A and B are shown apart, each in its own frame.
Chain A
């Protein structure tokens, strides 16, 4: 059964910002992951440039996108009067949002510290951790999309 295909108009803007922010977040984390993994596979100096590109993408694109997605999530929850809901899909959303936010923060810090410590060489251990965490984030975001669209009880 389909419910609420047409939403109240007041829900549309926060939902647009939430979904748009989530799309920008997934896109920017994927750009960073691809850059870091390609840097892992190639030698310097390409590797150094890809490491820097991936780290900067996390900092300047993924973090702002995360903030838009997360703030809009609170906005749409309050509009739908679900702030105190115990629904499983909302819990899953908080898990992906907040745990994912922590993982994103760690990935951004380690990748940018790696660039700062050694700007002209290959990935190194820290940037490889950033690459791995970016892949974990993509998997977490697929789970979040599943939870948000199927709304399991």
Chain B
């Protein structure tokens, strides 16, 4: 697979992750309003599908890109930072998805920390994007 195709698949996977995070955030914000709280949970199953698919493909194609291109190395600081941030983001997103699934299926109460976790996830994704664009330490 060529560089352009790998880049397309990596970026599309990243867009999928961000879309899932957007759906998680929409559910969390809706929980603050009586008008939307119950119905917005219908968005959660789609987010719970998109998050693991986007996350897994983003890391697979990202590592593939790093191995494919001689200008990159998996030992580069900005790539290591991205992988660490990806692990943090995956853990937060996985926990959010599981919590929303539980709410939708068993009617469990909303996790009071869900909004904070959503903001932490958005912050993590923003820092990953900054890292990908600025590539600190790359020569």
What is the interface of chain A, defined by CB distance below 8 A to chain B? 1-2, 5-6, 12, 15-16, 19-20, 22-24, 26-28, 30-31, 34-35, 38, 42, 46, 49-50, 52-53, 57, 141-142, 145-146, 148-151
**A-B contacts, CB under 8 A, total:** 96
A20 and B129 within 8 A (CB) = yes
Rounded to whole Å, the gap between the CB of A138 and the closest CB of chain B is 9
CA distance A20 to B125 in the complex (A): 10
Rounded to whole Å, the gap between the CB of A49 and the closest CB of chain B is 4
Contact of B133 among A16, A24, A50, A141 (CB under 8 A): A16
Contact of A46 among B15, B42, B135 (CB under 8 A): B42
Rounded to whole Å, the gap between the CB of A45 and the closest CB of chain B is 8
What is the interface of chain B, defined by CB distance below 8 A to chain A? 3-5, 7-8, 11-12, 14-15, 18-19, 21-23, 26, 30, 35-36, 38-40, 42-43, 46, 69, 71-72, 126, 129-130, 133-135, 138-139
What are the residues of chain B within 8 A of A28 when measuring CB–CB?
22
B18 and A27 within 8 A (CB) = yes
What are the residues of chain B within 8 A of A31 when measuring CB–CB?
22-23, 26, 43
A142-B12, A145-B12 known; A49 and B129 CB under 8 Å?
no
Contact of A6 among B23, B35, B38, B138 (CB under 8 A): B138
A145 and B18 within 8 A (CB) = no
CA distance A38 to B36 in the complex (A): 13
B39 and A49 within 8 A (CB) = yes
CA distance A151 to B3 in the complex (A): 11
For the complex of A and B, 4 pairs with smallest distance between CB atoms? A27-B22, A150-B4, A149-B8, A49-B39
B23 and A53 within 8 A (CB) = no
Chain A residue nearest to B12 (CB atoms) is A145
Rounded to whole Å, the gap between the CB of A132 and the closest CB of chain B is 17
A146 and B22 within 8 A (CB) = no
Contact of B15 among A2, A15, A23 (CB under 8 A): A23
CA distance A106 to B66 in the complex (A): 41
Rounded to whole Å, the gap between the CB of A66 and the closest CB of chain B is 14
A23-B129, A38-B43, A145-B11 known; A49 and B134 CB under 8 Å?
no
What are the residues of chain A within 8 A of B12 when measuring CB–CB?
142, 145-146
What are the residues of chain A within 8 A of B15 when measuring CB–CB?
22-23, 26, 141, 145
| Pairs A–B under 8 Å by Cβ, sample size 21 | A1-B3, A2-B69, A5-B138, A6-B138, A12-B133, A15-B133, A20-B126, A22-B15, A23-B129, A30-B22, A34-B42, A35-B42, A46-B38, A46-B42, A53-B30, A53-B39, A57-B26, A145-B11, A149-B4, A150-B4, A150-B8
Chain B residue nearest to A20 (CB atoms) is B129
Rounded to whole Å, the gap between the CB of B85 and the closest CB of chain A is 15
